[in-house]
Amino acid sequence: MQVVDEHAYKSGNSFFTKITNVLRLCKNKPINEELSIIWESVAFYNYVQELVGTESCVSPTKEILEKSINPFIEVVRYLKPGLIIVLGSQLWNELDHIPKIPDVEWCWIRHPSA
């Protein structure tokens, strides 16, 4: 919640701007009301819950990815989303071994920082 509150509702953060535009299916600047509607209707979750490096483009290890599975499944079961959008093809490929969760559709987009 804190990450979204600090970054998604303000302009200037290209990562959240790109995600917002994908969710809106639009590239023009959103008005504040649109930001509220969007970010109050989605859950933002960092699949990897630990720091993987201090530089950009550092991938998580297999061990880190494996430790991330159960907490993620627990959150998904609690939130019961209808759709999960995975940010990045690398993570999408890693999620192939996660058990399918009934009534949840999955898709991926290019990572906003790419």
pLDDT tens digits for range 9-23:
887 888 999 999 999
30 or 96, greater pLDDT: 30
DSSP one-letter code for 97: G
- Average pLDDT in the 3-10 region? 87
Burial status of residue 68 (CB atoms within 10 A of its CB: 0-12, 13-18, 19 or more): buried
Q: How sure is the predictor about 114, in pLDDT bands with cuts at 50, 70 and 90?
A: confident
Burial status of residue 87 (CB atoms within 10 A of its CB: 0-12, 13-18, 19 or more): buried
Q: How sure is the predictor about 77, in pLDDT bands with cuts at 50, 70 and 90?
A: very high
Domains identified in the chain, total number: 2
Query: Is 1 among the domain residues?
Result: yes
Residues 10 and 37 in one domain: yes
State how far the Cα of 53 lies from the Cα of 45, in Å rounded to an integer: 19
Residues 80 and 31 in one domain: no
Is the pLDDT score of 85 beyond 80? yes
- Report whether 9 contacts 35 (CB < 8 A): yes
